[in-house]
Amino acid sequence: MPHVFRPRLAAGLALLLVCAVAQAATDVLKLGRDCEAGKRKACAELAQIAKTDGNPLVRLAAVLRVADQALLADIAKTATDPDVRQAAVRGLAGVLRFGDRALLLADIAKSAGDWHVREAAAGMLTDQALLAEIAKTDRHEKGRRTAVQKLTDQAVLADIAKTDSDSSVRAEAVENLTDQAVLVAFAKTDSDGSVRAAAVGKLTHQGLLADFAKTDGDLLVRRAAVRSLTDQALVADIAKTDIDPNVRQAAVNKLKDQGLLADIAKTDSDLWVRRLAVRKLKDEAVLGDIAKTDGEPDVRHEAIEKLADQAVLADIAKTDKVFYVRRAAVEKLTDQALLADIAKTDSHKDVREAAVKKLTDQAVLGGIAKTDRDRDVRWAAVEKLTDQALLADIAKTDGDSEVRDAAQRRLEEIKAGR
């Protein structure tokens, strides 16, 4: 087939596909209305579409319209598409009486072959005995974890937290525990850091938390402890001395002392810790110093976001070597003469465009709209122009069609009084 016909063939096939899907959707809607009216044949046809149609969207649309509990139960157990099976489980919860629903959902939660389906069913159960059974016996950790999330029986939760082979299930069980002594035991003895961290995160005793924060070998545990600490002196010590930046970040997040925050913002070896400290600073002088001197552009940018000092911002806007740092400073400037100079001379188009967007001088904007080498900068200038003759000229002569279109639109806006 000649190459020239291939795009047309592809477009034609796409149109046929869209039409076929649209027709299938229409059929599903009609069958859905009939099924809701009690017509079993329509329900059976919907169930067949839900299980066999080649389009996943059509299959889902069909299962969502099935109103027959027996058919939904069959779909939940036998459909090949896991999304359809899960939708059928959710549908069952809406069409069954409470007692029937619990029995059927329990059966699916325990016996369905697909863990996604078992998980969906378990998530709708409320019977604690059933949930405990599933939490202990389901062969997939996500199914067990879903059941654990709904458990309230402290003895069962403690047993699962001790015996489950999967750390995420044990951690989930620990999250639901309330007894501080039991939590301390798990915080000290579990082999997995995420489980111990979950236990530590539930502790309230400040002395124990301090001990975990200072001495535990796992960063997850130390970080969890730090997040619950209230002693500012201890938090400050950890913010300065912990070997892991994630733990230091957690400590910085708790700090209130501006002097300590300034010290960390200037001296910590990790840029993310410094950024977080900068975010909490209030002192303009400190922020200005960091904005000009930090070796990481992201930290300088963070400081600029909090700066209001126009002299410092002007210096950064003119001298910083990184364009997005200069742009951040420009976006906070108010001096029109300085903005005009930057809009005309900065080497990076994004910085010039940021300056243009803050300009009000029509003469300067007109010159930039006519002469800047980048179309985005000219476009930004055009959108701020009010001179109709100049706009008409740009609409005819600019070398870029999108700039010409922008000028024409702006001209029409002005004429319409907008």
pLDDT in tens, 386-406: 999 999 999 999 999 999 999
pLDDT in tens, 218-266: 999 999 999 999 999 999 999 999 999 999 999 999 999 999 999 999 9
Averaged over 24-41, what is the pLDDT?
A: 78
Q: Check whether 414 has a pLDDT greater than 80.
A: yes
DSSP code per residue over 232-265: HHHHHHHHHH-S-HHHHHHHHHH---HHHHHHHH
pLDDT at 243: 96
Asked which of 62-76, 221-235, 290-304 is least confident by mean pLDDT, the reply is 62-76
Distance, in Å, from the CA atom of 216 to the CA atom of 345, rounded to the nearest integer, reads 55
Q: Pick the residue with more confidence: 308 or 68?
A: 308
pLDDT interval class at 20 (50, 70, 90)? very low
pLDDT at 94: 62
User: What is the total residue count of the chain?
Assistant: 418
Q: Which domains does the chain have, with CATH numbers?
A: 335-418 (1.25.10)
The answer to whether the CB of 195 falls within 8 A of the CB of 215 is no
pLDDT at 37: 83
Measuring CA to CA, which residue among 152, 158, 110, 154 is closest to residue 133? 110
CA dihedral 120, 124, 129, 133 (to 10 degrees): 0
pLDDT in tens, 137-191: 888 898 899 999 999 999 999 999 999 999 999 999 999 999 999 999 999 999 9
Measuring CA to CA, which residue among 252, 298, 237, 239 is closest to residue 271? 298
CB-based burial label for 238 (10 Å; 0-12, 13-18, 19+)? buried
Distance, in Å, from the CA atom of 383 to the CA atom of 327, rounded to the nearest integer, reads 19
Q: Tell me the percentage of the chain whose pLDDT exceeds 90.
A: 65
Asked which of 75-89, 203-217, 247-261, 322-336 is least confident by mean pLDDT, the reply is 75-89
Residues 6+ apart with CB under 8 A from 63: 46, 47, 50, 72, 75, 79, 84, 87, 88, 91
pLDDT interval class at 101 (50, 70, 90)? low
Q: Tell me the percentage of the chain whose pLDDT exceeds 70.
A: 91
